[in-house]
Amino acid sequence: MSDERRGEDVPGEDLPGEDEFRSGFVCFVGRPNTGKSTLTNALVGDKIAITSNRPQTTRHTIRGIVNLPAAQLVLVDTPGLHRPRTLLGKRLNELVLDTLSEVDIICLCIPADEAIGPGDKWIIEQIRPLEKRTKVVGIVTKLDKVGPGKVAQQLMALSELLGPAAEVIPVSAKSGKQLDVLTDLLVSACEPGPAFYPDGELTDEPEEVLMAEFIREAALEGVRDELPHSLAVTIEEVIEREDSDPPMVDVHALLYVERDSQKGIIIGHRGARLKEVGTVARQQIEKLLGCRVYLDLHVKVAKDWQRDPKQLGRLGF
């Protein structure tokens, strides 16, 4: 991404100065549920990626844009890399690896409160071939969850795995601790180059993708472990009401699950759960669109969609 997009005539590229504008594409990678989306939102300063304590919440590569006086960072939040068990899992991994091959900086996220395990080492193996042309930074996330001694141990363990060339840094997206240090580190690792997006823009994700993600996030809250992998959301229609004052938009969405039992979980007793999902998601969508929203939700069973190539394609994977 870096060479093609920067062009050939960047002034001062051979002798970068302190006051030159810098830009770059930064990818957060790690196991599912290591705080990548929370970190993306914290650095951008607004919610552009959904978060959950359930693994594999992120299903798309989400671009968040950090605008600074002398730099622009384009953050690419990815699904968690994992050993896939379904066709969906395989496609999500391919999406991540394709993204990694195109960015300027790869940030490996390891939570401070979990021991480094085989999954983390497997991810590092996927990154190794890219290290010759892509900078790698190790990030110990969730700094607020453990004491200083545990953080120091995790930093040392991560540094040992990545090697002496990679910088490692602890951060807490929740409290904001060390976020400014991480930003400075990422900017210094970028090369001189132009801003890729207009100042003030926070993401290049289409509104319909973000709306679907907000609905899925609301539906994932407080549900059983099986459901996160089996839930997909599509926006079927967005209609702006004519002559509405104040402005109002109708959003019609479908929530797909794989079994009737999962449909029951989403809908809840007499529809109470689905109504709650709609209320929470609508508030996020209204903030996104800047107007009142009528949100119409329906739940549909698409049997074993994670393993069916045709259904995966229809659902956008």
Residue ranges of the binding site for GTP: 30-37, 77-81, 141-144
213, two tokens: 């993600």
Q: Tell me the three state secondary structure of residue 136.
A: strand
Residue type, 196: F
Closest CA to 42 of 136, 194, 158, 144: 144
- Binding-site sequence positions: 30-37, 77-81, 141-144
Tokens of 112: 């401070």
Q: Which amino acid makes up residue 287? A: K
Edge-to-edge strand list for the sheet holding 248-257: 232-240, 248-257, 292-301
Phi/psi at 240 (5° precision) = -85, 125
**Residue 125 half-sphere exposure toward CB, CA atoms < 13 A:** 9
b/e per residue 146-180 (b: at least 16 CB within 10 A): beeeebeebbebbeebbeeebebbbbbbeeeebbe
Spell out the residues 6+ positions from residue 151 whose beta carbon is closer than 8 angstroms to its own. Answer: 112, 140, 143, 170
What is the Cα–Cα distance from 233 to 215, expressed in whole angstroms? 7
Beta-strand (E) ranges in 190-245? 191-192, 232-240
CA 6 – CA 219 distance, rounded (Å): 40
What is the sign, positive or negative, of the torsion defined by CA atoms of 147, 153, 156, 162? negative
